[in-house]
């Protein structure tokens, strides 16, 4: 499903000059900034500790949230409802992977990660 979204993004024309193009471009840029920030914050975290500083204080999965914004921006910039619907479906299916990843983090970091989970939302706002 993600492959179809990527193909739609690549082969669909941009809506240059339209409001959706500018909104989409803004989301792409926001997603890129978030990804870079998340990678730097993650890199600066010791390996024996969970990443909890910087953007990780806002969301437990900033790389996922940022990549979602980036791809959402692309789907909006091309004005494809199909790509948007498929993106939402693909990301909904990814939820189980994130829950499994958090279980691994709980096993690795114990109570420290459990407290982090209680303080910081999974997806930023919820």
For the stretch 107-119, pLDDT in tens is: 999 999 999 999 9
- Please check whether residue 107 lies inside any domain of the structure: yes
- Please check whether residue 4 lies inside any domain of the structure: no
Question: Residue 115 sits in which domain range?
Answer: 19-119
Q: How many domains does the chain have?
A: 1
- Please check whether residue 101 lies inside any domain of the structure: yes
Whats the size of the chain, residue-wise?
Answer: 126
Cα gap 119→11, rounded to integer Å: 42
Per-residue pLDDT tens digits for 76-85: 988 888 888 8
- The pTM of the full predicted model, rounded to 2 decimals, is 0.82
- Please check whether residue 113 lies inside any domain of the structure: yes
- Please check whether residue 126 lies inside any domain of the structure: no
- Please check whether residue 72 lies inside any domain of the structure: yes
């Amino acid at each position: 499903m993600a492959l179809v979204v990527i193909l739609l993004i690549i082969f669909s024309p941009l809506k240059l000059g339209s409001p959706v193009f500018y909104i989409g471009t803004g989301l792409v840029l926001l997603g890129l900034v978030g990804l870079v920030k998340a990678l730097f914050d993650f890199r600066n975290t010791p390996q024996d500790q969970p990443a909890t500083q910087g953007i990780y204080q806002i969301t437990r999965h900033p790389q996922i949230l940022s990549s979602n914004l980036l791809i959402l921006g692309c789907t909006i910039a091309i004005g494809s409802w199909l790509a948007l619907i498929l993106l939402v479906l693909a990301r909904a299916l990814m939820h189980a992977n994130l829950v499994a990843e958090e279980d691994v983090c709980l096993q690795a970091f114990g109570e420290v990660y459990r407290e982090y989970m209680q303080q910081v939302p999974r997806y930023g706002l919820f």
